Amino acid sequence: MDAQQMLGPRLAGLIVMLCLRYRLSRAKVQELLWELLGLQLSAELLDQTIRQNAGQVAPVEELLREEIERAGLLHLDETPWRESGLLLWLWVFNAVTTVVYFIGARSAEIFVNALQGGLAGCLMSDGYAVYRSYLNRIRCLAHLLRKARGLAEATCRHTSQVGQQLLDLLGALMQATQAARDGPSEDLAEQQAPNLAQLKALCERHQNSPFAKLGEFCREMLNDWEAIIRPLLDPSLPLTNHAAERLLRHGVIARRLSFGTRSEQGTRAFALLASIIDTCRARKVSAWDYLSTALQAGRQGLPMPPLPAVSVGG
């Protein structure tokens, strides 16, 4: 039996949690295990534990992927990641109580491979062109508001004036949609028709503006027009992609602390184990407990345990 196999599933799961969820350095994990448990484990053994355990629970990824395909609403976002200096992207697919991470190139390939069976519901995303291939989609309006605010604060007077108009109209549409959630909303699109017409005309007028940022913004609005106005037809839909953005913050912090991953195997381990941990957290159940159970099953060659149900009392 090698040294890694001598670590029980509970201890192995704890090491995964300390390194990935709590982002402790290997030195800190070594110190903590010595102080609390009297264990002296090498940094190499800690790394080996993470990689091998990711391999043992790899079948869970397919369970997670199937769940995001069935989601009624899927939040999707991405952020830069480094693998031994190579620029990759960390993607998050968030279906309220299911979280799946993938790391790879910033291309349609990740998007298509993750949703092999298609997506049953609605996709919430930013303006990345790859997402436009999926028609049942809504745009994050917070991104557009930030861009419009930047235009409104431009030093160029003309750009600033147009930017302020765009900002005011977008803000009015968001406020109307939020208000409709508390009352009748059947005629919201009709009520906002004048504002929509004014906003679209403004974008069409300035889509070829000599002021680059203004033209880019107006073209982006027109390209995503249907996705932008969809919440007017169904005010229950979210207006922002904050759910996915919040999840990615942990990845951003991990990247800054560790400078990413150092190998393809390490990259895969990070994405898979983070998916399991954050799915458990979204369901308000113990990630440590599920990881330990899954690791035990993997070591014995048994099927993976089903994903835990959402804890009602959590």
CB 192 within 8 A of CB 173: yes
Q: Which helix (H) or strand (E) holds 241?
A: none
Q: What integer pLDDT is reported at residue 312 of this predicted model?
A: 61
Query: Which amino acid, one-letter code, is at 242?
Result: H
CB 4 within 8 A of CB 53: no
DSSP state of 130: G
Q: What integer pLDDT is reported at residue 1 of this predicted model?
A: 46
- For the chain, how far is it from start to end, CA to CA, in angstroms? 39
Q: Which helix (H) or strand (E) holds 118?
A: none
Across-strand partners of 137? Answer: 123
User: Residues in the chain, how many?
Assistant: 314
Q: What is the pLDDT of residues 68-127, one digit of tens each?
A: 999 999 999 999 999 998 999 999 999 999 999 999 988 888 877 888 768 889 999 998
Separation in Å, CA 122 to CA 10, 76, 192:
38, 11, 23
Q: Tell me if residue 244 falls in helix, strand or coil.
A: helix
Q: What integer pLDDT is reported at residue 5 of this predicted model?
A: 61
DSSP letters, 267-303, are: HHHHHHHHHHHHHHHHTTS-HHHHHHHHHHHHHTTPP
Give the start-to-end residue ranges of the domains of the chain: 141-233
For each of the chain's 314 residues, which pLDDT tens digit applies?
A: 455 566 899 999 999 999 999 999 999 999 999 999 999 999 999 999 999 889 989 999 999 999 999 999 999 999 999 999 899 999 999 999 999 999 998 888 887 788 876 888 999 999 888 888 888 999 999 999 999 999 999 999 999 999 999 999 999 999 999 988 877 656 888 899 999 999 999 999 999 999 999 999 999 999 999 999 999 989 999 999 999 999 999 999 999 988 899 999 999 999 999 999 999 999 999 999 999 999 999 889 899 898 888 866 55
Query: Which amino acid, one-letter code, is at 131?
Result: Y
Contacts of 107 (CB under 8 A, 6+ apart): 130
pTM of the model: 0.90
